[in-house]
Amino acid sequence: MGKENRGGRGGHKPNFSNRSQRGGRPRTGLGAKSKQKTIIEPHRFPGVFIAKTPQYDLLLTKNFSPGQTVYGEKKIQVTDESSPETKIEYRVWNAFRSKLGAAILNGIESIYMQPGSKVLYLGAASGTTISHVSDIVGENGVVYGIEISERSGRDLINMAKMRNNLIPIIEDGRKPYKYRMMVSMVDCIFADVAQPDQARIVGMNAQYFLKNGGGFVFSIKATCIDSTAEPAVVFANQIQELKKMGFKTKEQVTLEPFERDHCVVTGVYRAKKKKE
Ligand code: SAM
């Protein structure tokens, strides 16, 4: 495997604090009505942004559905410098509510999705993280959200009404043949189903939908697989399972301090062999 990343990386060092990632209010105030100038910079991942305030930095995505929030997150509006009448709205990405957000803050090397990408999202729940994925892939991309729970699925469907790049599918991720007519080949699979057989679920979906050389981002909660084993052993076993199914893992990132005993593993599927 590639490397294990325990957070932080060289280059730009954002000043993220725990409070800021809960969407906490900075002492001097921040938001649409704030007089203080907020500087928004692109993150190194296209479609992801950072708000720089004197107190701390905030992870953001550009709101695909301006005016709407999904999980009570804060919004930041700024004036478009090229057109002063136009406002751009961003949503604060709370890393305590999103494993993908936590992995980004902990310095993950690649998320295998960007504006225009097609993403299959397994375990969409009521839509917290997938809404940020919808923001990232934007109007030229698409995200298919698979969720088994009808209750969470109702919220997901309601949210998707405001986001025409998000296709909610209330189905069991173990049965990809049931939704094969609705999903195209994708660039990336993101998986967060928190099930003991989650590696097999990802493998089955990759066989149907992930293009050769496509990326995967796989969240592992150790206690969902085996609550008696050391998390490091559980992670290593899951990686072995992925390898047997044609995934080449490249990176493992801990989600501490945002989530205990979780990691995110990324890599590529049926990677093309390099010519000698
Ligand atoms: N990724 C979500 C987020 O960050 O907003 C949270 C996902 S939660 C940890 C796991 C979700 O996977 C639950 O909503 C659960 O109902 C769903 N799930 C579990 N087993 C599934 C399966 N076989 N197929 C599809 N979804 C499943």
Q: What domains can you pick out in the chain, each with its CATH number?
A: 9-93 (3.30.200.20), 96-269 (3.40.50.150)
Atom of ligand 1 nearest to the CA of 172: 24
pLDDT band at 4 (very low <50, low <70, confident <90, very high): low
pLDDT at 160 over 70: yes
Residues 263 and 107: beta-carbon distance below 8 Å: no
- CB-defined site of ligand 1, < 6 Å: 98-99, 122-123, 125, 128-129, 146-149, 152, 172-174, 192-195, 201
**Helix orientation angle between 231-244 and 198-209, rounded to the nearest 10 degrees:** 30
Q: What's the pLDDT tens digit per position in 206-244? A: 999 999 999 999 999 999 999 999 999 999 999 999 999
Whole-number Å distance between alpha carbons of 14 and 49 = 11
Give the residue-averaged pLDDT of 92-102. Answer: 98
Q: Mean pLDDT across the chain, nearest whole number? A: 90
**Residue with CA nearest ligand 1 atom 19:** 193
pLDDT band at 80 (very low <50, low <70, confident <90, very high): confident
Listed in sequence order, the residues at least 6 apart from 143 whose beta carbon sits closer than 8 Å to its beta carbon are 118, 119, 120, 121, 130, 133, 134, 137, 165, 166, 167
What pLDDT, on a 0 to 100 scale, did the predictor assign at position 58?
96
Residue to substitute in 98, 177, 178, 192 for testing ligand 1 pocket (most ligand atoms within 8 angstroms of CB): 192
